[in-house]
């Protein structure tokens, strides 16, 4: 078994994914509650995408020894990261090309059976505008940094998916 395969099938790989998503969620809450930057609805949706990556990583940590669980985790990871990347690109487009005809809504459009903004408003209630750019680091906006983050998640997925799902001689699960 190659070192990449051994790592991709280890709990450590999933813990690293979990820690990175948890750190990004922590940063989002720090920006909101310490730096007092209001999240827009697109930010909230990206938060939800990060929670998808976080949940995929938690699932992978629990069931890393089972190929079926790793497959479910990888699928959730991929869907969440791709959706987050799409949202981040849309947000950056709104910020760089503001238009009165292309705006984001004031309330998130969660399904009626899962109104996260009502259940946990401190995390999922948007209070800002999508066209605002309240923070930059090295001239890069928060939305642009999220494009980088979600792209890195997808790149990592591409690198680790096949080794994580490969069948080894040690285990036939």
Of the candidates 6, 67, 70, 104, the residue annotated as catalytic is 104
Active site residue 40: yes
Active site residue 65: no
Of the candidates 27, 47, 61, 67, the residue annotated as catalytic is 47
Active site residue 61: no
Residue 86 CA to residue 144 CA, distance in Å, equals 12
Q: Whose CA is closest to 106, among 141, 142, 130, 133?
A: 130
Q: Whose CA is closest to 45, among 143, 156, 169?
A: 143
Of the candidates 11, 43, 61, 65, the residue annotated as catalytic is 43
Of the candidates 40, 61, 67, 70, the residue annotated as catalytic is 40
Q: Whose CA is closest to 124, among 68, 67, 51?
A: 51
Active site residue 130: yes
- Within a 10 A sphere around the Cβ of 20, how many other Cβ atoms? 18
Of the candidates 65, 67, 130, 172, the residue annotated as catalytic is 130
Tokens 């998808």 correspond to 52
Which residues does the annotation mark as catalytic? 40, 43, 47, 104, 130
């Amino acid at each position: 078994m190659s070192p990449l395969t051994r790592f991709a099938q280890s709990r450590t790989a999933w813990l690293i994914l979990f820690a990175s998503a948890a750190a990004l969620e922590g940063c989002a809450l720090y920006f909101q509650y310490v730096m007092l930057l209001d999240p827009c609805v697109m930010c909230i949706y990206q938060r939800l995408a990060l929670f998808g990556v976080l949940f995929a990583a938690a699932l992978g940590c629990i069931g890393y020894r089972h190929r079926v669980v790793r497959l479910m985790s990888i699928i959730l990871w991929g869907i969440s990261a791709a959706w987050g990347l799409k949202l981040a690109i849309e947000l950056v487009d709104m910020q760089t090309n503001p238009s009165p005809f292309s705006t984001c809504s004031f309330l998130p459009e969660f399904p009626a059976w899962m109104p996260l903004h009502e259940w946990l408003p401190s995390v999922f209630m948007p209070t800002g505008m999508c066209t605002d750019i309240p923070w930059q680091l090295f001239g890069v906006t928060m939305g642009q940094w999220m494009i980088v983050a979600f792209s890195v998640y997808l790149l990592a997925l591409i690198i680790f998916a096949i080794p994580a799902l490969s069948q080894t001689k040690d285990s036939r699960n």
